[in-house]
Structure formats: C-alpha cells, structure tokens
Amino acid sequence: MTSKLTKKATLTGEGGMQLPSPFAQFAAAVLGPGGEWKHAPLRIKINPVSASRPRVFRNGGVGYSKSYTRWRKEFAKLFPDSSVESIGRGPFVVVLEHVFQKPKSTKMAFPRGDLDNLDKGPLDGLQKAGLIKDDNDVTGLMSTKRWTREGEEGHTDVIILWAEKLENE
C-alpha cells in the first residue's frame, strides 16, 4: 500500500486498522516529511506475551519461558515457509498495539509487561518470517498496550512504514 503522510494523515489498512495523526507525525519525523510512503499493516491474532530473558544452560543451549516459547511457535505457524514476500531493508518505522485479553476480574487499569519485552516477539518474528531482512533496520518504534474491548480478542496490530525509493537515489 502507498500513502502520503501529512500532519493530519490517517492510514487505514486491512481490518480497519488505522494509523492516527500522532503516529503519522512520528513516522514523518523519523523517516522524513512528505514523499511517498509504503505501509504494511498486519494483525497477529495471538494474545501478546512478554519476551522472557533467555536462560543459558550448562550444555550451552538457550531457552525462554514456556509462555514465550508457545507464543513464538504460534507466530511461526502464521507464516509458513515462503508464504511472505520480503519488503527488504529499512529504514522502517514500526507501530505496535498489544491488545490483551482482559481477565474476568482485575483491578489493573492496563496489562502488565514492559513494552520493550512485548515488542521483541513481533519484531523478531517478522524477521524470522522473512517480512523484514533485519530488525536492526527499525529506526523508529512506537508501541502501546491495552485491554480488549467488548467482542474483541487478544492480538497485536503491527504497521510497518518505509520510504519509497526515488529513481535517482
């Protein structure tokens, strides 16, 4: 998809996902104002999980928590081998919204989990799936977290923005 970003831009993608003005302003500040921008919206229909710290075992192996390992396996099922066309190298701006299934009773106003740990899974997963070549090419990242609304299931919305290359570059 190609769109022009302005200060009042709202990008709408599949499933009605929107990139409201503050996010558009953020992308323009990181990638540069004006010009043609491409964006790839996607919805990861798995309840978000924070990435755990990797544990190094005596045999040299590395492991993660059971919940994060389960999330990674579910994410991998969404992108079977060769099912995704790579969008190449960055710089990219990535916008993430982590939407947690709300427990039946909670006193918390918002979900637990550090945003940087929540962001790690989708960014690593996009790279492993081949959508982006390297998550090191992400030059801007904006993320939020919230509980689900009525009728909604836990998921993560991802919007990747990148500048269209000019012919004389």
Domain boundaries, the chain: 2-145+155-163
pTM of the model: 0.75
Question: If DSSP codes are grouped into helix, strand and coil, which group holds residue 101?
Answer: coil
Tokens 């929107």 sit at which residue?
18
Tokens of 72: 């990674």
Q: Which residues touch 99 (CB under 8 Å, ≥6 apart)?
A: 48, 145, 146, 147, 148, 152, 154, 155, 156, 157
Question: If DSSP codes are grouped into helix, strand and coil, which group holds residue 92?
Answer: strand
Residue pLDDT, tens place only, 7-37: 333 444 444 455 555 666 676 666 666 556 7
What is the CATH T-level fold of the domain 2-145+155-163, as seen in this structure? Answer: 60s Ribosomal Protein L30; Chain: A; (3.30.1330)
More confident call, 54 vs 6: 54
CB atoms within 10 A of CB 95: 24
Residue type, 122: P
